Structure 1
Amino acid sequence: MKNKFLRTVVWEVQYLTPPPAVRYCKKCGRQKEFVSSGQFRVNAQRKYLDVWLIYKCSGCEATWNLTVLSRIHPKAVSRELLDKFHGNDQILAHKYAMNTDLLKRNGCKIGPYDYKITGCAAFDGPVRLHIRSNDASDVKVSAILREKLQLSRKEFEDMLSDGRIQSESEKDLTKCRLGKEILLVIS
């Protein structure tokens, strides 16, 4: 339990853009990045409701619909949420565009996206490092650490093998992804 006495440093991973969806574009004839338009398409028939977030190809502006809700009963969605879909609420569109699990369920690969890491990187001794993000992330923890601490891959691997960087939950830091948060000990 000695870790609870370490100074805690917090890093925030903030996304500058939602991740692009990489998929086959019929017009371009190859894999292309599709970017969220921030607009929803709602199709409501008598018994069922479908909602999509519209994406546009970065090469030709062809559209693709990301399935948000499919074949659900209209009464299963609150009136407030339905109004947000109809009104193309930007906060809601951003929430769905940032959902990498939803993109993967729709058969997409996740393209590279920009983010910044805020927080102090100068440590004057052992610290408990809390890395967190408002949106679930597919970014590797190793990439975040190497970028913020300005480490080469070799330096990072040496710190891991020497035990100078450890995950409190004993995750493999060479492979694990950030998700919402992770706690590390750096000595």
Structure 2
Amino acid sequence: MSSSRPIRGADRKALWVVSELGLPTIVKICVSCPSTRHRPTGKIRVNAHHKLLDVWLLICCDSCGRTSKIPVRRVVSPDAFACPCLWTPRPATTPPF
């Protein structure tokens, strides 16, 4: 029952470019108004206590503008974020005189 014919158009290739159009809308009840629509502010908050970090995404209510936070990482070691590109020492630059 299977055909040995090639699938029509299978030799064509396509290049796709995927890019973000914006940050997603978040559904969460606002504590100040009855709205459930929030948008990310594009900012994060990091709190350090001893040798551990808490990281939150800051969000803003679409109706009243109240800022809230959503936990991204809780009580995590800074080594969890270690990336060689962030910690590579850079050579000192001398000011042009």
> What TM-score, normalized to structure 2?
0.64
C-alpha separation in 1, matches of 2:24 and 2:54: 23
Indicate the SS of the match to 2:65: coil
Q: Identity of paired residues, percent?
A: 31
Q: How many matched pairs?
A: 80
Computed over aligned residues only, the root mean square deviation of the Cα atoms, in angstroms, reads 2.6
The match for 1:133 is none
Which structure 1 residue ranges, 5 or more long, are not aligned?
82-187
> What TM-score, normalized to structure 1?
0.37
Which digits, 9 at most, give the CA deviation of each residue in 1:41-67, with x for residues without a partner? 110000321011111111111112122
C-alpha separation in 1, matches of 2:42 and 2:35: 24
1:75–1:7 CA distance, 2 compared to 1 (3 A): closer
Which digits, 9 at most, give the CA deviation of each residue in 1:125-147, with x for residues without a partner? xxxxxxxxxxxxxxxxxxxxxxx
More strand, by proportion: 1
Which structure 2 residue ranges, 5 or more long, are not aligned?
88-97
One of 40, 62, 66 as aligned partner of 1:62:
66
Indicate the SS of the match to 1:24: coil
Deviation at 1:13, TM superposition (A): 4.4
More helix, by proportion: 1
One of 40, 51, 57 as aligned partner of 2:55:
51
C-alpha separation in 2, matches of 1:18 and 1:70: 22
